[in-house]
Structure 1
Amino acid sequence: MIWPAEDLWLAMVARQPGLTVEVLPEIDSTNTELMRRVRAGQTEPVLLVAETQTAGRGRLGRPWHGEAGHALTFSLGLMLKPVDWSGLSLAVGLSLARSLDPQGDFGVRLKWPNDLWVQRPGTALGWGKLAGILIETALPPSAGQSGEQGRDQARYCVVGVGVNIAPPMADGLSTAPLGLQDLQSGITAPQALMKVAEPLLATLLAFERTGFAPLQNAFNARDALHQLPVTLSDGRSGVAHGVDATGALLVATAQGEEIISSSEVSVRPV
């Protein structure tokens, strides 16, 4: 595959000086690699793309593998110091949805807290998973010498993204996946990266300044769970009522409104 690394760099470096763009033919995980680098003291901004991932990871440690040409897998890493980290995965998801489906014509929706789903009306397949997000942060080794403490410190933020390009196998998955090529015939991983990378960087820099609140209404407009009956992994159930200004999911239950802020709680439509 031919990747537009130089074009991406030119589009992104003006927003983030010092940024580099790297494309690797194979790696265990782009997120894992950037986390290794930050632990070694490397905190430069970087867009790391892998044609193949052999040990990719999703939320809750689930495996996520990307084969060359079948998936777009990349991580964007940079130092960030937002006032509040809450809602970052939702902001990332919204950025991806807007880039891949600007007008909503393809039915790309956001499944709290970190997936892109597509509803396939008129079929028995229901929802299909298009993409997933994994965000990790770390303090660089030098942070302990800075005198800053806790939430006031800048952290190295690694935003990992996996987008299905070709229609993938659905064996053993609770939500059947679909590929971007199901929505846009012939689109390739490099073309998809050109759509999403620079707007994602802009979103991260804006989030650092203003947090999630300005994006609340836009997220709710694309919320895949809006007004649907849902069950939580701890056995509770209710109706999803969108997210609040911090990105927490609101669920109306028999006991009243529940505010779900932990991404460790799994939420599924009934």
Structure 2
Amino acid sequence: IEVLAETDSSNTRLLERARAGDSSPCLLVAERQSGGRGRLGRPWFSDGEASLTFSLGLELAPVDWSGLSLATGVALAEALHPSVRLKWPNDLWLPDVYGAGRKLGGVLIETLPLPRAHADERRRYAVVGVGLNLAMPTPRDGLTQPTAGWRELEPQSHAPDLLARLAPALVYALGRFEREGFGAFAQRFAVRDALRGRLLHTSDAAAPSGVADGVDAHGALRLQTDAGLRLISSAEVSVRPC
């Protein structure tokens, strides 16, 4: 476990170590990040006591990598609060009075192949980055959706308290995912699925809109469209509730 007062991105630091040959397990916590990243290259702002940002890096060799971000979200949501919901594929949401949701946090997973000399070709170095708003983020360029802060639920909460809850749950979940895959998390994801039954717009030209119908056995989003059922599995596709 390492704690940095400031860095550009905890994910980037662990990936650079792995490229240099150090793939040892590490939980890297950054009190402040100047270049944090979210999905699709979006910036993630991290500011001391206003947020919790950390990355867990370790070697994994699951039979199927599909659904890892969903399994990670399940572990984090269950460790946080029954109210926390999951927006496919990697956002933590707090529901609002209109039944929609506001972004509380997010997950960014990146992997690297290990040297060819490694006996198991499935094994990769995985970096699971987590960002969680403690306080309500201030309006700034780059915010594209309504946001939430954890202290709405636990006003006295601090970053170390949350880290002590989330990190063990995440480590356990990654071990179970490696052994059992997404199937061990599918029903638990369904309980917290924030999109099911909602009309969505997507950036996928083949399925620009439709009604969310949960996820399949590999964690792909099921979308009921006018042309029938479509599966969206690419993390590069943007999905927005109407």
TM-score by length of 2: 0.95
The Cα of 1:234 is off from its aligned counterpart by 2.8
Do the aligned partners of 2:177 and 2:184 also contact (CA within 8 Å) in 1? no
The reply on whether 1:196 has 2:196 as its aligned counterpart is no
Please tell me whether the aligned partners of residues 181 and 187 of structure 1 are also in contact (alpha carbons under 8 angstroms).
yes
- 1:19-63 CA deviation, whole Å, 9 max, x = no partner? xx1011111110000000000000110100010001001111111
Q: Distance in 2 between matches of 1:220 and 1:263?
A: 19
**What whole-Å deviation, never above 9, does each CA across 1:201-221 have from its counterpart, x for those lacking one?**
000010000000121111011
Residue 147 of structure 1 deviates from its aligned partner by 6.2
1:257 and 2:229 matched: yes
Pair 1:159 & 2:128 matched: yes
Alpha-carbon distance in 2 for matches of 1:59, 1:161: 11
1:121 aligns with 2:97: yes
- Structure number with the higher strand fraction is 2
TM-score, normalisation: structure 1? 0.85
CA distance in 2, matches of 1:38, 1:249: 31
| Aligned position for 1:145 | 117
The answer as to whether partners of 1:111 and 1:224 remain within 8 angstroms in 2 is yes
Residue of structure 2 equivalent to 1:8: none
Q: Secondary structure at the match of 1:85?
A: coil
- What is the alpha-carbon distance in structure 2 between the residues aligned to residue 218 and residue 184 of structure 1? 23
Distance 1:26 1:95 in 2: 26
Query: For the aligned residues, what is the CA RMSD?
Result: 1.4
Measured after TM superposition, the shift of residue 75 of structure 1 is 0.3
Between the aligned residues of both structures, percent identity stands at 51
Paired with 1:146 and 1:199, the residues of 2 have a C-alpha distance of 28
- Partner residue of 1:24? 4
Match of 2:218 among 235, 240, 246: 246
Q: Which amino acid aligns with 1:162?
A: G
The alignment partner of 1:231 has SS state of: strand
After superposing the two structures, state which structure 1 stretch, 83-92 or 63-72, moved more. 63-72
